[in-house]
Structure formats: structure tokens, C-alpha cells
Structure 1
Amino acid sequence: MNQKYKFIILWMFPLFTSLVLQGLSFGWNRVVLGNALENFFTLLILLSILLLLTAKIRRIIQYLFYVLWTLSCLIETIYYYIFKANLSASSIYILLETNLAESKEFFEFYFNPSILIMVIGYLIFIILFFANGIALNIDVSNFKRKLLPFFTLILSVVFLLKTGYIQYNFAFLTLRSIKEYIIEYKEIDSFNIDKSIVDIKGFSFNDNLEKATFVLILGESTTRSRLSLYGYSRNTTPYLKSIQSNLKVYDDVISPNAFTIGSLRKVLTLNGLSDMNDFSIIQLMNQAGFKTFWISNQRPIGEYESLVTKIASASDVYQIKNTALDGSITPHDEVLIPLFEKALDDDAPLKFVVLHPLGTHMKYSDRYPESFQKFKGESPSNFKNVRAQQLSNDYDNAILYYDHFIEQIHKKLQVLEEPSYMIYFSDHGEEVFTDIDFAGHMDDNPTKSMYEIPFFLWTNSKFKNSKPLTSNLKSPYSVQYFMHSFSDLNKIKFEGFDSTKSIFSEDFRPHKRIIANDIDYDLYFENTSQNN
């Protein structure tokens, strides 16, 4: 075979293989076809650059280009295969916020023989390319012959930019995301979100409490439809069901994003860190004179701080119990109980404790001890394949254990004599083979289960007497407005407080619920259900 054709065929292998695999796994739609066009013009750009180089440099650089080209096609294809969506900037942003232990869990959770075959196949392409050692031997030494690759390069770049197909390009998305990530974290540093006290304009604390203990439990990846408290067919929350009459259980609450950082940025601060006067719930309670505790089973990224760790570090006491080495199995959430007991025993008269357990995060089977492996066999999942059944059972068992964890927290609060409350909600939901044949969460392919979260409040009699609450149990609500509800619950006011956004207020009015930054949740899923 002519060496030129052999060279071109080797370069085209990854492109056509990706097109076929993405089409088979994701469907032959405009996204897959758009990505194929992007890949084709990216290939033209790479080959044009090679042709503009001298023959000697070209022979070396072609190997680097081919490896990067093949690996980018592989990564895109695996992403399409797993998530049934195109790779996005938010996906890479999440990756940058992920520690090595979570990365290992992600790999174990999604890895299967099909992905292994893909990896081997693309590696074979690279081996074949290196084994053949073919160079692109086209003579473009004179000016006229350089015009064709030069204009091909320019036109390909213009095409990708003008059509918007560049949004599918892995290299472009990665570089843009890293740039935005660095800029954003420089901005976050300027907000002083990790400082204990900041200037909260118009702050007032309208209470004469002498002693109080308030607790917020931040859940992780828990969708409300899998709690028997919300009517699920399996008894996954026996304790919460047993105390249901003493809880305010809110039926229609969602999270603003389907990933932790995106959600908690909006939930734990007033304006999602969109202006310099923003502040967090920790800083709010510090200003009110509470001793604040943040007790976490979520391991930080490493040498870098995430947004959540910066918010947490403003606490008077910040403790991370999860010290597992990268790659180790993380401890179960009950390791937080001794630290919680220590916080309760603290001499401070006013205490606010945030518990941040792992909950039902990703590798569900690692979230509970063997003694909680109650649910086996056929699950109520809408999908009956082996993976769907296994992960559904694991998820239900994780929720059962989570119920046990909350039970231990609640029972320790019940014996307190001072005004106390326990409020719980999850950072986001989780798709577990309910709406689609998939387990996980992502903004790029939203389902209701990824946003629907449990939200409930327990108060003791002394707190009830000091703070009457309006129920609004059936009202649609997004925890994007949680700062207003939280402030209202604690009788705190500040400049910008809006009682119509407090689910606990008689002034409450439903506000537009935005998910994934720009989607109207209620309109989107109303239209989706009509189309189905």
C-alpha cells in the first residue's frame, strides 16, 4: 500500500472508531455527528501543522500528535459511553475538584469489560502507528506548496469557532476549564470566605438565647425517591419513618446543580459568591455568637483547598475524620459520632454543628458495613440488567445505613434541654436506574432523580416555643435559597434577606427553580414528560 494512504488510514482509525462507538452507545444524533465533525476538522488542523513543519521536526512531532489525538478520541468515547452526553467544561471542572481516592472510586464504579476493550483497541492504534514509523512525506518546501496546509489550518479553525463545534473538542475544553478554574479560585480567595468574621451589612440577631444547639446535616448524592420516608416501596428509612410525626418533611425540594461544588456554592452562601459582599452560613452563625463546628468525612482534594473546605475552615472547629490514604476505602460515617459527642460536650452556650458525611456517594457498596446489607435479589429499579439490580440494592443499603447514622445524631439531640434543631438535606440527588439506564449525577444529561432531594427538619419543644414555623410542606422549593430559610429559622436578618424565599416563613412564595445554571427545572421536566 502507498505510504501516504497508509499514513492517512492510521490517522483516520481513531476518528471512525469513535464515531461508530459513540453512535452505538449514545445514538445517531446531532451531538454525535457534531463531535465527528469536530474530530475531522481537528484532524485537518493537526495534519496541516505537521505539513508546515520541516521534515525532520515533523517526523518527531507526529508521534506526540498521534498519541494526543488518539487519547482524546478515547476519552471522548468513554465519556459518551458512560454518561450518554457530550464532554463539557463542567465535567472537567468536577475532575479538577476530585481527590485521588474519589478518582479510584469513580474508576471502580464505572469500569467494565467494554471500556477495557476500548482502551486496548486505541492502544493498538498507537502501537501500529509507532511500529510502521511512517512520516508524512509531502514536499512543502516552497512557498506555494505551503499555502494549501496554511489555508486548511485557518479555515478549519474558523469553521470550528463559527459553528460552535469547538465545544466538543477535548483539548479546548480542558485548557479553557483549567484557565477558568484558576481564575475562579483567585476570585474565591478575594471573597475571604475562609475568614471567621466578615462585614455582614445590616446584620441583626433577634433572639435572647442563653443556650442552644443547632445541627445541619449535609447529605451527599441522596435522591428522595429512594427513601421510604417519601413513599419508596422498600423500608430504607425505618427510623425516620418512626419519628415522621415529629418531623417537618418537605415534599418538593430540589438542588440547583447535580454536583457538589456547583450546588453547595449556591446553597451555603448568600449569592453563590457572585459579589464581594457575599458570606457563608458559617460566617453568619459566627457573627451571631455561636461556636461553629464543621465535622466531615469527606477528604479534601490534597494540597489544594476546594470551595467547601474554604467555607468549612471559617468554623471555630474544623475536623476531617477521613484520613484514608488515596486509593484506600474511606471510613463509614459513624466515625463522626465521637467528634459530634465532643462538640455537644463543649462548654460554649451557643453551638452550631455542621456534619458532612459521605452519605450515599458513588461507590455505594463502600458506604455501609456488611451488617446493613439487607436488600438483595430483585430491586424495584426500572431496569432489570445485572448492573442495575446490583447498584440499586447497594444504594438502598447505603440509605438504610444513612438512616442509622441520622438516628444516632437525633437521639443525642433529643436528650438536650436547651432549644435544638436538626435540619437535613442532600447537596444533590442521584440517578440510580430510575429514569435512565445509568447510575450517577451530572448536569449534562439531567434527570429528576439527580435534583430531587430529601429535606426535613426536627425541632425540640423548647425551640418550637421560641420560633413558630409555617409548614409549606408541599411547596416547590430549591435549596439555592437556603440562606434565606436558614436565617429565618435562626431569627437572623441582614441586608438582602428575603422572607419570600424562606420555606419556613408565612411570606414564602415559590420562586423560579434553576438547575444546571440555566435550565428552568419545572418547565424542562414538564416538557420532557409531555414529549415522552
Structure 2
Amino acid sequence: MNLTVKDTLAARGIALDPWVGFYFLQSLLINTALGYEFSLLYAVAFSCVLLLLWRIAPRVQKNMLALCSLTAAFYFPFGQAYGAPNFNTLLALHSTNMEESTELLTIFPWYSYLVSLFIFALGVIAFRRKPATKQPWRFTDHLCLAVSVAAFFVAPLQNLAYGGVFKLKDTGYPVFRFVKDVVVNNAEVIDEQQRMAALSQVKDSWNVLAAKPKYHTYVVVIGESVRRDAVGAFGGHWDNTPFASHANGYFFTDYVAASGSTQKSLGLTLNRVLDNKPQYQDNFVTLANRAGFQTWWFSNQGQIGEYDTAIASIAKRADEVQFLKSGDFEADKNTRDEALLKMTSQVFATPRTQPQLIVLHLMGSHPQACDRTQGKYEVFVQSKETSCYLHSITQTDHLLEQLYQQLQNTGQSFSMVYFSDHGLAFKERGKEVQYLAHDDKFQQNFQVPFMVLSSDDTAHRLIKARRSANDFLSFFAQWTGIKAKEITSKYKFVSSQKAGPVWVTNFKLHKVSYDHLGSDIFETKTR
């Protein structure tokens, strides 16, 4: 009976071939590795494509599968942490230096690389398969052709039905989507960098109407990758900010970053924005220059080139600029943020009559946090990396305390603002390898600390009204007493006045409502 069934299935071409399961497994892994949501339809459809190509063009199939497997193997750890390629990931690829790249590779859990090796091994096996003699087309071949073609049109037809646009390039096959997303987003990044480079040669267009600074020295400290719920001074579970928790000043408990990554967030925060595009020549540094301030920019973040990142483009507009790292292969990954205090002390050592604007850009809590703390932490929370992350915030708090003392020792009036560019989200949550990485799906990716400490503050005050980093230039103008034709303040920033709904820019450069984002709670499990 079993022999009869087997012969019948073989005669109809329906008998199962081990390679069918092999290609299906490879399709599943490739689709998952590229960072797209799981789809059984496209896993089956891509398996059909591989089977058909093996029938009609085995050499083409082997080369294509080898390329897909190699790409998937390399991208798998990134895809699990950051998802499919988008503008932000391509921007990071262009603007990340060797130090940051190395740190990124060490933060992923070891089993991600094990899966990558498995995908690569499957690709090698598939590539070494020997072609068999050609056989006439069977029912299963026609079925594979129908499935693979039908799947190709599913997404374009859905777009036509819901959006009125039909484009074949919008097919949902993850392999095709990956290529399209890389090409399209890379072109957008290059266009943005070219626009930035062009604007770097353009004079600012600020029209300053008045400048009446209340203080002699203004300091902007830009933190890195700090979630507000990890900061003790802002309600975090751990007392990891002994200075900020008791300092006199204004502490904003509902400040929302503009985006979820450094370059995009600060590009939208520190520059004037028209039609959703930062005008890099019109930023807070050039505004201060126009108003008669002497400007300084000290950074512990790498500089790859002179104008090739949003931050470098802004920094180069200051009167004096110093980067602790150049961003090349010899960049010192162990350079501490506290080294910036030597630069500020040199500035404060010389009396100056002009109002001063000093900007410090920290490495702060940038992943990998244990590189910031040399592996040290005060309390263990779930994983070593999470514990180091909390301690890195303590290090930043200590820097702020030392900077505050330097300012007090000058004998001049001063005001200092500290905020972080964006937050982070937990990956591998609840595991021993739990870590934090960039994301744009949760409110915590945009919830960051923001505080203003001035020489004449007499109390520790909380401001619970929501504030957006998209309004930073308005704050800066009010804070420094600069009035410019191009800046219209809709509300008083340092107050309890409501400011309306807040939107953020996600990694696809879409504006989304902050209120509609999910939540990524900081678990407080310790040992």
C-alpha cells in the first residue's frame, strides 16, 4: 500500500525532495536575517523561486543563493537589533567611525553570530549542490511558478487598493525589499550629505533683532543615549545622580527628543528646520555668533570629516573647535568625557568681556556602555551591559558637577543646560545578554533628561509640562536673550505652560505622534 502511494506521488511529481525543506529553511532564515517581519507567504514564495531557478538555471540559482546567504549572515545581528535598512541605518553607516563600529559588533549576543554562521554554512551547502539531469516540467513546477508570481504582486496590489499607487518595486519579497531599501535610502543619505556640504559654504541667514543675555557664560552639554527613566534625578529607580538630584535649577520631566539617533535628532534640534529639512547654516551656534557671543565647541565624539555629519557641520561654525577624536583607525576609544574639562578650564582661566557660549558633546552612555565605564558598575541589574549603562549616567553626573564647580569658580554669572540626544530600547530583554540599542518604536527612545542650572537658582524645581526638542531653538533664544526675526516663540519654554501635541521623526523619516508610540519599561530586577 505504502509503495503504491509512493509510486503514485512520484509519477505525479509530488514526492517530497529533501532540498524542498532545505530551501524553505534557508528562505525562512534569510527573510528573518534581513530584518523584516516574518511572512510565511514570502518564505514559501522564495522557496518556490529557488526551486524554479534550480530547474531552469542552476548556476544562476547557486550564485544568487550564495550572495543572499552571505548578506543575510552578515546582517543577521544588525537585523535583530535594528530591523530592516532605513535612512537612519544607512546614515549611521556613513557617519560611524571605526571605534563605534567595533563597539557595535561586540554588543550583540554570541548566539546571533552562531545563527549567522549557520546561515553561511547553509549557503555553502547549497552552492556545492551538483546539478542533476534536466527533467520535464511537472505539476509542482507549475504550482511553484504560480505561487512565486502571485506573491510578487501582493504588496503592489495592496498599495494600489489603499494608496492608489502601483509600483512593481514595492514587492514584498524580503530579498528585493532589502536591495531597494539599501539603494533608495543610501541615495537619500548621499543627497542629504551633499545638501549639508553645500550649506556649509553658505553664510547663515539670521536676522538678529536684539541680544540681551542675562548671564555671562552659557554652556550646552549634549549627552548621548540617555533614557530619562534611567536617571535618578528624573525619577529613575536608582540613585545614580547624586549631583543632579539635589542641584538647584529646572528639571523637565517630560522632554521629548526629536528623533531616535544622534545625527537625525540633533540635526532637527540644533538647526532651523524648513519643510522638515534642517538648514545647517542656521543653527544655534551661528545664531550666537550673530548675537556677538564668543563660541566654543568641544567634542568627545569622533569627527570623520569636516562637514560630513550634521554635528561636525554645526561644530565647525564655532569660533574654536576641538575634537578629542578624529574618527580614524587610531582614534582612542578609551578617551573619557572628563578630558573635555581640561578644555573648559583653559577657557575659564582667561577673563573675557564677550558673552560666552560653550558646547560640550559627550560620548556619555553610547553603546557599548561597559566601554565607557571600563566594565565598572555599582549595582547589577539583569546584565553587565545594563549595569554599566546605569553607571555611565553616574559618570556624566560627576562631569556635570565638576563643570558646575568650574563655572562657580569663575565668579561670573552662568547658566548650563544638559540634555540627551535620544534614548535607547532594550534588546534581548530579560536575558543575561540584555543590552540597549537605538530604536524608534517606543516612547522611551525619545524620553530624555533636560535640565537648566543657573548661578542664581535657589531651588530644585520640576517642570512637568511636555516639551519638544523640535522647539529647542525657541528655548535657546529665550535662554540667551537673543531675538531673531526667524524665531517665533509660541510659549515660554521654562514654565508650566502647555505646548500642544508632540511629534517625532522615525527612522524612515516619517513624522509620527509621540502619544501613539509603544512602551519599553525599564525592569528593576537586581541581584
Q: Is residue 322 of structure 2 the alignment partner of residue 316 of structure 1?
A: no
Match of 1:161 among 151, 156, 159: 156
Separation in structure 1 between the aligned mates of residue 133 and residue 398 of structure 2, nearest angstrom: 65
Report the Cα offset of residue 158 of structure 1.
3.5
Matched position secondary structure for 1:240: coil
Separation in structure 2 between the aligned mates of residue 303 and residue 51 of structure 1, nearest angstrom: 53
Residues 99, 302 of structure 1: 8 Å contact kept: no
Residues 423, 446 of structure 2: 8 Å contact kept: yes
Q: 1:320 to 1:42 in 2, by over 3 A?
A: farther
Q: 1:248 to 1:303 in 2, by over 3 A?
A: closer
One-letter amino acid of the counterpart of residue 357, structure 1: L
Unaligned runs of 5+ in 2: 1-9, 159-169, 522-527
Instruction: State the partner residue of 2:25.
Output: 13
Q: What do the CA deviations read for 1:446-491 (whole angstroms, capped 9, x no partner)?
A: 2x32221111111123xx79xxxxx881111111210111111112
Q: 1:63 to 1:460 in 2, by over 3 A?
A: same
Separation in structure 2 between the aligned mates of residue 51 and residue 495 of structure 1, nearest angstrom: 69
Separation in structure 2 between the aligned mates of residue 454 and residue 249 of structure 1, nearest angstrom: 8
Separation in structure 2 between the aligned mates of residue 173 and residue 183 of structure 1, nearest angstrom: 15
Match of 1:117 among 114, 118, 139: 114
Separation in structure 2 between the aligned mates of residue 255 and residue 96 of structure 1, nearest angstrom: 22
One-letter amino acid of the counterpart of residue 68, structure 1: L
Q: What do the CA deviations read for 1:385-430 (whole angstroms, capped 9, x no partner)?
A: xxx3322221121111111111111111112233321110000122
Q: Is residue 239 of structure 2 the alignment partner of residue 235 of structure 1?
A: yes
Report the Cα offset of residue 334 of structure 1.
1.2
Match of 1:108 among 99, 106, 109: 106
Matched position secondary structure for 1:423: strand
Q: Is residue 224 of structure 2 the alignment partner of residue 220 of structure 1?
A: yes
Report the Cα offset of residue 318 of structure 1.
1.5
Report the Cα offset of residue 265 of structure 1.
1.2
Q: How does 1:94-493 map to 2 (within 5 A)?
A: 94-112=92-110, 114-134=111-131, 137=134, 157-163=152-158, 166=172, 168=174, 169-190=177-198, 192=199, 194-195=200-201, 197-200=203-206, 202-207=207-212, 212-242=216-246, 244=247, 246-271=248-273, 274=276, 279-301=282-304, 305-323=308-326, 326=329, 329-345=333-349, 347=352, 349-369=354-374, 373-377=376-380, 379=381, 388-432=382-426, 439-446=435-442, 448-461=443-456, 473-493=463-483
Q: What do the CA deviations read for 1:26-85 (whole angstroms, capped 9, x no partner)?
A: 9xxxx7433x43455456567777878xx6xx62x44431122213444565445445x5
One-letter amino acid of the counterpart of residue 442, structure 1: H
Residues 482, 502 of structure 1: 8 Å contact kept: no
Matched position secondary structure for 2:410: coil
Matched position secondary structure for 2:131: coil
Please say which of residues 323-332 and 126-135 is displaced more in the overlay: 323-332
Residues 237, 400 of structure 1: 8 Å contact kept: yes
Residues 291, 352 of structure 1: 8 Å contact kept: yes
Residues 267, 481 of structure 1: 8 Å contact kept: yes
Q: 1:350 to 1:91 in 2, by over 3 A?
A: same
Please say which of residues 300-309 and 406-415 is displaced more in the overlay: 300-309
Matched position secondary structure for 2:128: helix
Separation in structure 2 between the aligned mates of residue 37 and residue 133 of structure 1, nearest angstrom: 28
Q: 1:90 to 1:374 in 2, by over 3 A?
A: closer
Separation in structure 1 between the aligned mates of residue 475 and residue 102 of structure 2, nearest angstrom: 37
Q: 1:196 to 1:173 in 2, by over 3 A?
A: closer
One-letter amino acid of the counterpart of residue 28, structure 2: F
One-letter amino acid of the counterpart of residue 477, structure 1: R
Matched position secondary structure for 1:295: strand
Matched position secondary structure for 2:205: coil
Matched position secondary structure for 2:125: helix
Separation in structure 2 between the aligned mates of residue 48 and residue 133 of structure 1, nearest angstrom: 16
Q: Is residue 79 of structure 2 the alignment partner of residue 71 of structure 1?
A: no
Q: What do the CA deviations read for 1:161-197 (whole angstroms, capped 9, x no partner)?
A: 334553843222211211111122222233x2x3584
Unaligned runs of 5+ in 1: 141-146, 380-387, 466-470
One-letter amino acid of the counterpart of residue 281, structure 1: F
TM-score normalized by the length of structure 1 = 0.78
One-letter amino acid of the counterpart of residue 227, structure 1: V
One-letter amino acid of the counterpart of residue 500, structure 2: H
Residues 217, 355 of structure 2: 8 Å contact kept: yes
Q: 1:289 to 1:401 in 2, by over 3 A?
A: same
Q: What do the CA deviations read for 1:127-176 (whole angstroms, capped 9, x no partner)?
A: 21233343795789xxxxxx999998876543343345538432222112
Matched position secondary structure for 1:235: coil
Report the Cα offset of residue 228 of structure 1.
1.9
One-letter amino acid of the counterpart of residue 256, structure 2: I
Over aligned residues, Cα RMSD in angstroms?
Answer: 3.9
Q: 1:345 to 1:525 in 2, by over 3 A?
A: same
Instruction: State the partner residue of 2:162.
Output: none
Separation in structure 2 between the aligned mates of residue 127 and residue 369 of structure 1, nearest angstrom: 39
One-letter amino acid of the counterpart of residue 171, structure 1: V
Separation in structure 1 between the aligned mates of residue 55 and residue 191 of structure 2, nearest angstrom: 35
TM-score normalized by the length of structure 2 = 0.79
Matched position secondary structure for 2:244: helix
Separation in structure 1 between the aligned mates of residue 471 and residue 374 of structure 2, nearest angstrom: 35
Separation in structure 1 between the aligned mates of residue 317 and residue 69 of structure 2, nearest angstrom: 45
Report the Cα offset of residue 283 of structure 1.
1.1
Q: 1:503 to 1:49 in 2, by over 3 A?
A: farther
Residues 222, 362 of structure 2: 8 Å contact kept: yes
Separation in structure 1 between the aligned mates of residue 151 and residue 79 of structure 2, nearest angstrom: 24
Q: 1:400 to 1:513 in 2, by over 3 A?
A: same
Residues 434, 449 of structure 1: 8 Å contact kept: no
Matched position secondary structure for 2:453: strand
Q: What do the CA deviations read for 1:281-304 (whole angstroms, capped 9, x no partner)?
A: 111111111121111000124687
Report the Cα offset of residue 353 of structure 1.
0.9
Separation in structure 2 between the aligned mates of residue 411 and residue 204 of structure 1, nearest angstrom: 34
Matched position secondary structure for 2:96: coil
Higher helix share: 1
Residues 425, 444 of structure 2: 8 Å contact kept: yes
Residues 425, 438 of structure 2: 8 Å contact kept: no
One-letter amino acid of the counterpart of residue 503, structure 2: I
Report the Cα offset of residue 235 of structure 1.
2.2
Q: Is residue 512 of structure 2 the alignment partner of residue 522 of structure 1?
A: no
One-letter amino acid of the counterpart of residue 13, structure 1: L
